[in-house]
């Protein structure tokens, strides 16, 4: 039962962080272009998404524009199963998408930036008071 309470607290903190970022956008304090994805993640999720291998995949997709997942796996010298698994995780968080072409599925970066609170985000008024 205690475990469910902790999970609930984590979810509430994540939602509160997201809400603060969205409120900042709505108030014109920040501009969120279409290329941005907003994520509120716990530490485990952060390391799940942003491993060195997944970051290498993103850089390779951006730089080399592979036509298929198979060609991407050859470029990074990894098994196609491992690359597909990593791409599925990146797709789950809307960082990439795949497009079907004659050769198979082409990985495409759908977001150029990630906005992610690293610590709990304080409301703007409190942040201004702290800075004074």
Query: In what helix (H) or strand (E) does residue 81 lie, and over which residues does it extend?
Result: helix 80-92
The pLDDT of residue 33: 66
Q: pLDDT by residue (tens digit) across 68-119?
A: 999 999 999 999 999 999 999 999 988 999 999 998 999 999 877 777 777 7
Integer angstrom CA distances of residue 41 from 25, 57, 68, 82, 98: 19, 21, 29, 23, 23
Q: Is the pLDDT at 9 greater than 50, yes or no? A: yes
Domains and CATH numbers, the chain: 2-126 (1.10.10.10)
Tens of pLDDT, residues 45-71: 888 888 999 999 999 999 999 999 999
Summarised one tens digit per residue, pLDDT across range 119-131 is 776 665 554 444 4
Give me the chain's average pLDDT, please: 83
Cα separation values, 58 from 23, 32, 83, 92, 94, Å = 29, 21, 11, 14, 13
CB 107 within 8 A of CB 98: yes
């Amino acid at each position: 039962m205690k475990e469910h309470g902790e999970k609930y607290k984590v979810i509430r903190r994540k939602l509160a962080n997201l809400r603060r970022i969205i409120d900042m956008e709505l108030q014109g304090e920040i501009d969120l272009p279409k290329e941005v994805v907003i994520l509120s993640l716990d530490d485990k999720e952060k390391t799940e998404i942003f491993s060195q291998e997944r970051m290498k995949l993103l850089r390779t997709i951006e730089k080399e524009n592979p036509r298929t997942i198979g060609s991407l796996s050859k470029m990074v010298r990894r098994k196609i199963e491992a690359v597909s698994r990593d791409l599925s995780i990146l797709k789950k968080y809307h960082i990439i998408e795949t497009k079907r072409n004659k050769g198979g599925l082409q990985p495409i970066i759908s977001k150029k930036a990630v906005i992610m609170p690293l610590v709990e985000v304080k409301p703007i008024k409190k942040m201004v008071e702290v800075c004074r």
